[in-house]
Amino acid sequence: MKIDCTIDGKTLTLSLNSDKPLSLILRENMGDDGAVNHCNGEMCGLCTVLVDGKAMLSCMVPAFEIRGKTVTTFDSFRRTRNMKDIEKAYESVGRYPCTECYASRSLIFESLIDEGITDPGEILKELSIVRCPCMDPEDEIMIVRRGIEIRRKRNVQRPQLA
């Protein structure tokens, strides 16, 4: 099956099995050996990517679901202004994820911040896909809320184009 998609800013046409998990596509077709984990569906959360801005476990996303979509890995995301907002939120709250789950949590925080989700239950539900116990739930909620504030301030400060 041929699938057109965009991965980390590169428009691609891939020929592959429609059931192949995105995590393996990233490893085999993008040379992404270290950035995206493939846990074979054990749902550790460490293979999180953004698909059209929504955090998803790449080991659970079959190839056919990325047709026409934009996939962003942490390797690409970490160089964006949005990641700088998340880093400011970490600094503001004084808490950071461990090195093992930093990438995955940062992508989930981005998804939540982008959607403007402030409800503690929704925030914790989304973050529950990362099984690493390194962060306190209250800190996670504060990071998302602070990230939303930081993003709003940055967007307001941009000059409006006519």
pLDDT in tens, the chain (162 residues): 999 999 999 999 999 888 999 988 998 877 655 555 556 666 788 899 999 999 999 999 999 999 999 999 999 999 999 999 999 999 999 999 999 999 999 999 999 999 999 999 999 999 999 989 999 999 999 999 999 999 999 988 766 565
User: What ranges do the domains of the chain cover?
Assistant: 2-73, 81-157
The angle at the Cα of 38, spanning 35 to 39, to the nearest 5 degrees, equals 130
pTM value is 0.91
Looking at domain 2-73, its CATH architecture is: Roll (3.10)
Which amino acid, residue 33?
D
